[in-house]
């Protein structure tokens, strides 16, 4: 029996076990649905485009909300129940633009692709301790979402899972997470700080592209000693970690980071570099690789400071000789004496200058911690 197109209220009898595909689809005047306490199935597009529906209660016997079941229910603000849910299928609540809050029971294991895509008003996601997978675009364009916690059971955040969540300021990643895929957090422009768990072994291309306020990325320090000498670098390589860190290793070798670190004396800065490099996962092009390139930039600046000693010494050498000529020395001062004097003065001056310069170079609040070049913008999706 077809449901009238102008239906306003539906009461589902307790004997009903399934709402079939398209059963109420397009009933734009449907406002309330009651009953259905014994429902076991809500099939594909069962309530899609019910643009006046404001609230729905999911029976505890429903295990799966099928594809696009509530797609484009643009007035839907509240979803109750769902204690027995295990899977939310593709696009199940896509374009529910007024949906404010969603709570997942511990039984929910899978949030399929675009399940909550374009839920512009979604601010809060609760629960999810049993989740295993957040699939492609699951929360894409949830532009009011402010915080998300990825529980330890989640091993993989798929591509574009949180793409363009513009108000997302806090992302809590848990130990156990292995992979962050392409564009996963692309255009999360409010995200400022990120802690990468040591379990992460890959961060794919553009995972954090156009996160324009992301200035702090923290890795664990579990293997920081591998950057101190070439021998430890060799041991790290031979130990098999290269299987998950090939790109990071090639970057370090290319820029001679291990050898150059041996030249550094300020221990606080050296420790800071260790923290940035330690436990690096495999990082793809146009992702957090830019973060590691800032290390080379800072080393280059510091090495130029070290070279400045010779230039300063030469400058002093010239000025002192000229001064001596003007004083018409009677020959009592030799060239060797002048060189020693220049050397001592240069050391004294650098001892005063360097302590003020080093803190500037290692300032954790500078804008150089994460750098994107023009290529990364062009590669990121619009």
For the chain (length 382 residues), average pLDDT per consecutive 10? Answer: 88 94 96 94 97 96 97 96 96 97 95 97 94 95 96 95 96 93 93 84 84 74 41 43 46 57 44 44 55 60 62 71 65 71 74 60 43 37 42
- Short-list 33, 39, 147, 132, CA closest to 87: 132
Residue whose token pair is 């409010």:
190
- Short-list 239, 238, 248, CA closest to 296: 248
**Can you give the residue range of the structural domain that contains 370?**
307-379
Which of 249, 283, 317 finishes a domain? 283
One domain for residues 319 and 370: yes
Rg (CA), the chain: 30
Kindly state the tokens that stand for 339: 């060189």
For residue 119, is it within any domain? no
For residue 117, is it within any domain? no
One domain for residues 325 and 357: yes
Q: According to the model, what pLDDT value does residue 374 have?
A: 38
Kindly state the tokens that stand for 244: 């998950």
Alpha-carbon distance values, 364 to 15, 283, 294 (Å): 63, 22, 12
One domain for residues 372 and 324: yes
For residue 368, is it within any domain? yes
One domain for residues 268 and 311: no
- Short-list 110, 286, 119, CA closest to 186: 286
CA atoms of 161 and 173, how far apart (whole Å):
14
The number of folded domains in the chain is 2
CB 163 within 8 A of CB 182: no
Which of 216, 251, 283 finishes a domain? 283
Q: According to the model, what pLDDT value does residue 93 have?
A: 98
CB 153 within 8 A of CB 176: yes
CA atoms of 246 and 283, how far apart (whole Å):
9
For residue 194, is it within any domain? no
User: Could you tell me where the beta strands, DSSP code E, fall in the chain?
Assistant: 9-12, 18-19, 32-35, 41-42, 55-58, 64-65, 78-81, 87-88, 101-104, 110-111, 124-127, 133-134, 147-150, 156-157, 170-173, 179-180, 193-195, 202-203, 216-218, 282-283
CB 242 within 8 A of CB 323: no
CA atoms of 60 and 10, how far apart (whole Å):
19
Q: According to the model, what pLDDT value does residue 194 have?
A: 84
Which of 267, 283, 299 finishes a domain? 283
CB atoms within 10 A of CB 307: 9
For residue 367, is it within any domain? yes
Q: According to the model, what pLDDT value does residue 62 have?
A: 96
For residue 92, is it within any domain? no
- Residues belonging to the chain: 382
One domain for residues 336 and 375: yes
Positive or negative, the CA dihedral 235, 241, 243, 245 is negative
Q: According to the model, what pLDDT value does residue 248 have?
A: 53
For residue 355, is it within any domain? yes
The number of angstroms, rounded, from the C-alpha of 146 to the middle of its chain's C-alpha atoms is 14
For residue 232, is it within any domain? yes
CA atoms of 32 and 278, how far apart (whole Å):
55
DSSP string, 181-192: -TTTTTT-TT--
């Amino acid at each position: 029996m077809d449901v009238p197109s102008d239906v306003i209220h539906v009461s589902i009898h307790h004997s009903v076990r399934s709402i079939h595909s398209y059963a109420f689809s397009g009933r734009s005047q449907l406002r309330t649905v009651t009953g259905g306490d014994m429902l076991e199935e809500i099939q594909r597009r069962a309530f899609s485009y019910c643009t006046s529906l404001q609230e729905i209660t999911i029976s505890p016997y429903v295990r799966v909300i099928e594809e696009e079941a509530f797609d484009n229910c643009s007035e839907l603000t509240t979803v109750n129940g769902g204690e027995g849910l295990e899977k939310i299928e593709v696009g199940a609540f896509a374009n529910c633009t007024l949906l404010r809050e969603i709570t997942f029971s511990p039984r929910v294991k899978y949030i399929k692709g675009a399940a909550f895509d374009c839920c512009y008003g979604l601010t809060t996601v609760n629960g999810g301790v049993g989740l295993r997978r957040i699939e492609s675009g699951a929360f894409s364009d949830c532009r009011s979402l402010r915080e998300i916690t990825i529980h330890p059971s989640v091993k993989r955040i798929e591509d574009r899972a949180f793409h363009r969540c513009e108000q997302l300021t806090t992302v809590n990643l848990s130990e156990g997470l292995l992979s962050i895929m392409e564009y996963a957090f692309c255009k999360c422009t409010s995200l400022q700080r990120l802690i990468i768990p040591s379990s992460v072994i890959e961060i794919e291309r553009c995972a954090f592209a156009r996160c324009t306020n992301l200035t702090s990325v923290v890795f664990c320090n579990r293997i920081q000693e591998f950057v101190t000498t070439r021998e430890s670098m060799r041991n790290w390589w031979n130990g098999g970690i290269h299987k998950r860190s090939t790109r990071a290793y090639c970057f370090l070798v290319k820029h001679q980071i291990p050898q150059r670190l041996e030249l550094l004396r300020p221990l606080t800065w050296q420790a800071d570099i260790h923290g940035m490099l330690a436990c690096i996962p495999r990082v793809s092009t146009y992702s957090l690789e830019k973060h590691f390139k800032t290390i080379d930039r800072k080393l280059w600046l510091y090495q130029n400071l070290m070279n400045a000693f010779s230039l300063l010494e030469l400058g002093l050498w010239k000025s002192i000789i000229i001064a001596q000529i003007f004083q018409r020395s009677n020959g009592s001062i030799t060239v060797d004496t002048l060189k020693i004097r220049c050397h001592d003065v240069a050391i004294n001056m650098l001892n005063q200058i360097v302590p003020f310069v080093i803190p500037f170079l290692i300032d954790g609040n500078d804008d150089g911690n994460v750098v994107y070049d023009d290529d990364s913008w062009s590669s990121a999706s619009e």
